[in-house]
Amino acid sequence: MVDLEIPNRGWSVRVLFFMSLCFSLCHGQPSTDSSRWKVNFPALPDGKTSESTAVSVNERSAALVIVATGADATNATLKLGNHNVPVKMIGYDSVSRLGFIQASGGIAPETLNWSEAASKNENAALHAVEGGKSTTAQCAGWVKQVGGKILPFALLRVNFSQTVPTPGTPLFDNAERVVAVVFQSANSGNVGYAIPAEAVHRVKRDIFNGGLLNRGWLGIALRPESQTPKISRVLPGSPAEAAGVKQDDVLLSIGTRQIKEYADAANAFFYLIPGQSVDVKLRRGGEQLALSLTPIKP
Amino acid sequence: MKPTFEQIGELLALKRNERPEEGYWQDFICEFHQNQREKSVKVSGMKNFFSQFSAWFSEMGPTKWAYGAGLAYAAVTLGFFLIPHEATKENTPASPVKYQPAVEQLNQLDLSPTTQGLVGEQVF
Amino acid sequence: MLFTKSIPMFRQSRPPDPDQELVTRAQQGDTRAFDALILKYGDKLYGLVYNMTSHKEDTHDLLQEIFARAYQSLGKFKGNSAFYTWIYQIAVNLTLNFLKKRKRRTSVSLNDMESSVQQDPALIDTAHEANPEKQTNLNELQIKLNEALKKLSDPHRIVVTLFDIQGMSHGEIAKALSTSEGTIRSRLHYAHLQLQSALQNSWEERF
C-alpha cells in the first residue's frame, strides 16, 4: 500500500504515484515492507558504522531505526533492494538510540499493529520478521543492568531460534502486534536485547513534538550502590519537595511500576512526562504514604 | 531400564545452555584488565627497584659487604615474625581479594564493556 | 654429504582461522580485539571449566588465569592451530593441573547451579505449564546426572564435557588433549557406560 501525504495536486503527483507503484510492483513491494529496509549510518570520528532495519510507526510515513554508539545519526542512507533512496531523519534520541526516518519519493512503510506495552509473561512466544522472513523467539524477562551498569531503562532479553536479527527488527506477539524492537546481540549464543514498545512510544511522543526527548524531572536523588531504593536527598524547590517527599523515604511504586531496587526506579523515571502527574507510594518509618508528584522539564 | 547412549547425549546436551548470569562477562573483562594493569605496575616497579638498588650497591666500596650482612640478618628476623605459625594459621582464613567495580548508571544505551557510566548519587 | 629432502605428495590444507584478524590485532596491542575473543569463547570455556570443577568461584578464578595466560602468550601463538584449539589446550591444561592440586571439598556445589539452570528460559520446557511433572522429573535427572559426572575420573569427565556438552568432534578433542582420537573414543565409551549405569534407577523412575 502506498500512502501519499500530499493531496492530489496534478500531473507531478500522478507521475510520482505511478512511478512509485511501478517501483513497488517491480520489486514485489519492498518499498512498503519496512522489514526489507536496510538503513546505514556512517561512522563518527573514532566511531563505527551502524546498520539497522526499520519498523513502521504508523505516523508521518515514518519508520523507526536503531543508531548504534559511534555512528552518525544525521547521515542515514536507505537501501531498498539495489536502490538507494534519499531519507530524512525526523529526530533521534541518544538515550534510547532510537531514530525516526522518512523516505522520500512517497515511499512509506506499511501500517503495523503496535502493542502499548511489552508482555510481562516471561515465556512469551514472539517472532521476528526481517527481510520478509519470520524467526521464532522467546521473551526471557527484563534486563535492568548489563555488566554491573544500570541501564537508563529496562530492555527485554530475547532468545532467538537463530542468529540475533539486525537491530531495528520488530518482534511480534501471537496477535501480530509489535511488542519490541531488536536492539543488539547479547554476544552470548542466540540471545539478544530488545527495546520494549512502551519505550518506543515514550520517545516517539517527544521526537514528533519537538525533536528531542524531554525527561520528567522530580528532584529525587538515589544511590545505585544502595541495597534498597532509598531517597538519599530531595532537592530544594523541586516537585518532590513540593509534594512532601523526604530524605530516607523508600520508594515502593511509581505509577503502575513496582520498585524493589534502584534499577526499577531508573526504569520508571524514564517514562515520566513533564506536566503529567504520577502517583508515588513511599515507605517512611513504618508508614506507607501515597503522594502525587508532577515532574517538570529538567 | 537403562537410558541409551543417545538419550544420555541428549541429557548432557541440555547442559550446553548453562552459562553465567547476565553481565558476567562485562565484569569479567573489567577485572581482567585491572589484573593486567596491576601486573604491569608490579613488574615495572620491581624492575625500577632492582636497577636502582644494584646501581646504589655497586657504587659503594668494601662497606657494601657490611650492608649486605646487615640486610640478610634483618630479612631473617623479619621472616621469623611474619611467617605464620601453626597455631595462628587456622584463625586467619584466606579471603580472596576481588575487584569490585563501582555501580555505574548509564545515561544512554551503550552496552560495550568499555563504556563508562556515572557513579555516586544520581538525581532524577 | 648430500641431504635429500622428501617432499610430501599431498599438502594437507587447513581452513583459515576465523579468528585470525582478531588475534593479529590483539597481538599488535588492540585490547578490544582480545575482549572480543573473551566474549566469543567465554561461555564455552565457562561450561568446560565449571563442569570440571563444579565450583563457581574456582571457575571464575581459573578463567581469569586462562585468559591471562593466553594474553601473555599471544606473542608466541604462530597460528599452527586455530586460536580456538589453542585456547582450549590452555584451558584443559590449567584445569587439570588445578584439579590435581585442589583438596577434595566436602560441600557439593555443582547443584548450586541447578537453580540458574531451572531459571534459564532456554531450558524451561515450554510445555511445563501443561505438564509440570515432566519439568520436575527433568530437574531430578539433571541432578543425578551431575552427581554421576562428578564420580567420573578427570580424564573421563573432560572428554564427556568436551564431546557431549560442548559438542566438539573427536579430532578437536584429541588436539586439545594432545592425544589420539582412538584414546578419546575409548574414554568416551567407558564414560558413557558409567553414566548409563549411574542413571539406570532414575531412568526407570521416569516411567
Distance CA A58, CA A116 (A): 14
Which chain B residues have a beta carbon less than 8 Å from that of C35?
29, 113-114
Q: Which amino acid is present at C157?
A: R
Residue extents of the structural domains in chain A:
11-103, 113-197, 220-293
- pLDDT tens column, A31-68: 478 888 999 999 988 788 999 999 999 999 999 999 99
Sequence-distant (≥ 6) Cβ neighbours of residue A166 within 8 angstroms:
A51, A52, A53, A130, A182
Closest C-alpha to A176, from A129, A141, A139: A129
Contact B28 C38 (CB under 8 A): yes
Q: Do C176 and C158 belong together in one domain?
A: yes
Q: How many Å apart are CA A286 and CA A248, to the nearest integer?
A: 12
Look up the CATH number of the domain holding residue C157.
Answer: 1.10.10.10
Domain A220-293: which topology? Pdz3 Domain (2.30.42)
* Interchain CB contact of B17 with A (< 8 Å): yes
Q: In what order do the strands lie in the sheet with A257-258?
A: A257-258, A250-254, A278-284, A287-293
Question: Burial of B96 by CB count in 10 Å (0-12 exposed, 13-18 middle, 19+ buried)?
Answer: exposed
Q: What are residue A64's DSSP bridge partners? A: A55, A100
Three-state DSSP class for residue C151: helix
Quick check: C123 and B17 CB within 8 A?
yes
Put simply, whether B80 touches A (Cβ < 8 Å) is no
Cβ-defined contact of A266 to B122 (cutoff 8 Å)? yes
For residue A120, which amino acid is it?
Answer: K
Of A31-35, A89-93, C130-134, least confident by mean pLDDT is: C130-134
Classify the complex by whether its ipTM is higher than 0.85, answering yes or no: no
Domain extent, residue C37, equals 19-105
Please, which pLDDT band fits residue B58 given cuts at 50, 70 and 90?
A: low
Q: The CATH number of the domain where C78 resides is what?
A: 1.10.1740.10
Nearest chain A Cα distance for residue B32, angstroms: 13
- Chosen for mutation from A143, A146, A230 (greatest number of chain B CBs closer than 10 Å) is A146
List alpha helices for A181-293, DSSP H. Answer: 197-207, 239-243, 262-270
- Same domain, yes or no: C118 and C75: no
Reported confidence tier of residue A246, pLDDT bands at 50, 70, 90: very high
Residue C9 lies in a domain: no
What would the CATH number be for the domain defined by A113-197?
2.40.10.10
| Portion 57-76 of C in contact with B at CB < 8 A | 57, 60-61, 63-64, 67-68, 71
Strand A149-160 relative to strand A170-172, pairing: unpaired
Q: With an 8 Å Cβ cutoff, are C43 and A189 in contact?
A: yes
pLDDT digits (tens, 9 = 90+) for C150-182: 889 999 999 999 999 988 899 889 988 888 999
Q: What is the mean pLDDT of residues A287-292?
A: 96
A11-103 belongs to CATH 1.20.140 = no
User: Which cell numbers in the block locate residue C80?
Assistant: 599452527
Q: Which of A19-28, A281-290, B20-29, C74-83 has the lowest mean pLDDT?
A: A19-28
End-of-domain residue from the set C105, C130, C154: C105
Residue B21: list chain A partners with CB under 8 A. none
* pTM score: 0.53
C111 pLDDT above the threshold of 50: no
> Are residues C137 and C198 part of one domain?
yes
**What's the average model confidence in pLDDT over A198-208?**
95
Q: Chain B interface, mutation test: which of C165, C185, C200, C202, most B Cβ atoms within 10 Å?
A: C165
Q: Which residues of A touch C43 (CB under 8 A)?
A: 188-189
Which cell goes with C164? 557431549
Do residues C142 and C183 share a domain? yes
* Residue after which a domain boundary falls, among C105, C132, C153: C105
Domain residue ranges in chain B: 22-81
Which pLDDT belongs to residue C81? 84
Distance CA A98, CA A183 (A): 9
**For residue C130, what pLDDT is reported?**
43
Q: What mean pLDDT comes out for the span A174-196? A: 92
Average pLDDT over residues A177-193: 91
A66 sits in which H/E element: strand A62-66
Nearest chain C Cα distance for residue A72, angstroms: 21
Task: For residue C166, tell me if it sits in a domain.
Answer: yes
Q: For residue A296, what is its C-alpha cell?
A: 517538570
Reported as type and span, the H/E element at residue B68 is: helix B63-82
Same structural domain, C83 and C126: no
Pairwise CA distance, residues A58 & A255, whole Å: 27
Task: Give the chain C residue whose CA is nearest to the CA of A159.
Answer: C122
Q: Is residue C141 part of a domain?
A: yes
Tell me whether the CATH fold assigned to A11-103 matches the one assigned to A220-293.
no
Contact A149 B106 (CB under 8 A): yes
Q: What's the pLDDT band for B57 if we cut at 50, 70, 90?
A: low
How far off is chain C from A176, nearest CA to CA, in Å?
Answer: 20
State the nearest Cα–Cα gap between B25 and chain A, in angstroms: 7
**C197 and C117 within one domain:** yes
Q: What is the pLDDT of residue C127?
A: 36
For the record, the C-alpha cell of C162 comes out as 568436551
* Average confidence (pLDDT) over C77-84: 86
Tell whether the model's pLDDT for residue C112 goes beyond 60.
no
Q: Which of A289, A204, A280, A294 is nearest to A242 (CA)?
A: A294
- Give A132 or A219, the one with higher predicted confidence: A219
| Chain C residues whose beta carbon lies within 8 Å of the beta carbon of residue B16 | 47, 165-167
| Residue C56: how many other CB atoms lie within 10 Å | 16
Distance of CA A256 to the CA centre of its chain: 19
Cell numbers at A17, concatenated = 504515484
Are both C23 and C59 inside the same structural domain? yes
One-letter amino acid of A168: G
Q: Is the pLDDT of residue B95 over 70?
A: no
Task: Give dist(CA B34, CA B36) in Å, integer.
Answer: 5
**Cβ-contact A40, A51 below 8 angstroms:** yes
- Contact state of C196 with B20 under an 8 Å Cβ cutoff: no
In this prediction, residue A206 carries a pLDDT of: 93
Report the range of poorest mean pLDDT among A118-127, B63-72, C17-26, C194-203.
B63-72
Domain boundary among C57, C87, C105: C105
Task: Tell me how many domains chain C contains.
Answer: 2
